[in-house]
Amino acid sequence: MEHKHIYDAQGKQLCCTQTEKIYNQAGAQRLIQGAPAQDQAHSHSDDDGHDHSVAEGSTLKLFLPAIISFVLLIVAIAMDNWVPQGWFRGWIRIIWYVLAYIPVGFPVIKDALKSIGKGEIFSEFLLMSIATIGAFAIKEYPEGVAVMLFYAVGEVFQTLAVSRAKSNIKALLDQRPDEVTIVEANSSRVIKAEAAAIGDVIQLKPGEKLGLDGELISDTASFNTAALTGESKPDTKAKGEVVLAGMINMNTVSLVKVTTAYQDSKLSKILELVQNATSQKAPTELFIRKFAKIYTPIVVLLAIAICLLPYFFVGQYVFSDWLYRALVFLVISCPCALVISIPLGYFGGIGAASRNGILFKGSNFLDAMAAIQNVVMDKTGTMTEGVFKVQEVRLEPDFDQATILKLVNKIESHSSHPVATAIREYAGEVDESVNLTEVEEIPGHGLKGSVDGKVFLVGNFKLLSKFNISYTIDPNTIVYTTIAIALDSRFVGYITIADSIKEDSAQTIQLLHKLGVKATMLSGDKSTVVAYVAKELGIDKAYGDLLPEDKVNKVKEIKAMGESVAFVGDGVNDAPVVALSDVGIAMGGLGSDATIETADVVIQDDKPSKIPIAINIGKQTKKVVYQNIGLAFVVKGVVLILGAGGLATMWEAVFADVGVSLIAILNAIRIQKMKF
């Protein structure tokens, strides 16, 4: 039976120090865990690119070599110590222990020779092979078999741990169906999802998953979006609304018009992001990788020194005693606990986050989130709904409200800001006959146009001041967002618009404070509105009436105080602030391709309460990683010293290697089970 390790798509076996490669693709297309491709008992990557987990019922086959070895070893130990007999000695005894060794030892020796042939001399396989063959050479047969047996068990647990860690990502990969039903001229046909063209109409039955992004043609439909957002509550869509690949139709047969090519769907972009998530290594991972390359050859040289150097300094030098110490030293020194459990810990963190609808672009951002001291956030669309409604229209007496509203509606139609939508909902459809020309946007201020040769301004009161237009009111006395209007250098009046606070915004700030993280709000909205929202939510500091460059300066001021900063916004308009912050967080990643491209962390729905969850996942991941590092270094360090001094046997060495590895792996798996 083959010893089970980690293999690539061609069946090429990877050593422990190479295993981190499996995390670089986040369980996707090319690297897999289990046995080579021809071994059907274990996972492999098909030519179609789908990843398959360890097959059901294959766990026993994974453990079978170890079980055979264990049974033979127990029988041999019983014959040596407990069962009175006269035949279990000499060559029979040796052959029995060799037979116990072969199921778990032969594959490792073969892997060691392969690694040497490829120039990778100092692998874990070589360490284990030398240690166990050396144990046989000095007639410590039970210990030689036991070391390799426990090592084999540890490798199986590593395979199962990686499979479990990949389950969250695999759940995402499974959300995209291979086929869709296309409706044409009152008939339907099933085609490959990637063959569907923009404009095709997909028929979606209850329980079916949508394969491409599109627009709902049916009057209404409810969708399960849990795989995309981590939100279990159904999302009801109306005719004309956007629906995304991966959503599951819940009630009635629905029709969806395809608006995006298969490879350009939001889900495709998310999957690509997740698959490449761990290509950006955390500093801890980079350190361990470099450490293992230097550490392993050093311990081999030290083991040789432990074996040979005492000859020149010890009066009664016994080669077999010092060789035993060197072999113990080699077993202890295997760096598996570090090179497996640390990437597994970060991978588990990324998986736990994706299960909660949070996408990290790299394990380095898990570390960065864990260190965040101040979350700086935008107001509109982040802590508020971003859905404005007109509250009041107040104009000077000599202006006709209907005429002004038509002008405002027409100029706002050139903007994508939520304010424009609120104006249109209040004033009705845009009157295209309105003579408005030369419209331009003045960043951070508003819009400027021309009406019959007269300058028409719609924006904040800073816009009016910029054009030296006086007004008779004090903007600071108005709580709501205010749209100031001017025509031909005269103040016309203003429109107030209100935006509601998200239901979980207050909870978000409370959770941030529990984590010891400050909250700061930066907004281009008027100061009175920002101050009102900040007071309602309990935000530490809030600043309004800010231009994009003002936001940058504020973040610079915070960072100058030595605080690490995460900025939460739309990831597009606030690109300079996102670039300046330690971590850029985009809200509502499913609604914008650009947010997925620009942010370091993407929250797939619009819930700000995911921000403290992301920070907590980062903190817990880093905590587990450092626990594993501390455990491995302390235990291995103590037992290495004892082994070199002849005070530790192979059994202590097995615990220091395999035992610590298993404890570290189980500790790393805890992240996936945590509830955030």
- Annotated catalytic residues are 378
- Structure token pair of residue 359: 């996408």
Both tokens of 160, joined, read: 């199962």
Q: Which residues contact 566 (CB under 8 A, 6 or more apart)?
A: 368, 369, 372, 374, 375, 376, 581, 582, 583, 584, 585, 601, 611, 615
Q: How many contiguous H segments (helices) and E segments (strands) does the chain have?
A: 22, 25
Please report, to the nearest 10 degrees, the dihedral formed by the alpha carbons of residues 474, 477, 481, 487 taken in order. Answer: -20
Rg, Å, the chain Cα set: 33
Other C-beta atoms closer than 10 Å to the C-beta of 312 total: 7
9's tokens:
């798509």
d(CA 391, CA 214): 34
What 3 state SS string does 346-415 have? Answer: HHHHHHHHHHCCEEECCHHHHHHHHCCCEEEECCCCCCEEEEEEEEEEEECCCCCHHHHHHHHHHHHCCC
Residue 339: enclosing H or E segment and its boundaries? Answer: helix 336-355
SS (H, E, C) 306-317: HHHHHHHCCCCC
Residue 390 half-sphere exposure toward CB, CA atoms < 13 A: 18
- Report whether 490 contacts 404 (CB < 8 A): no
Compute the distance between CA of residue 253 and CA of residue 256 in angstroms, rounded to an integer. 10
DSSP reduced 3-state for 324: helix
Q: How far is CA 140 from CA 15, 77, 653, in A?
A: 26, 12, 14
What's the CA gap between 645 and 185, in Å, rounded? Answer: 84
What would the two tokens of residue 187 be?
């008939």
Ramachandran area for residue 562 (φ above 0: left; ψ -120 to 50: alpha; else beta): left
Tokens of 374: 């101040």
Helices 141-173, 660-673: inter-axial angle, 10-degree rounding: 20
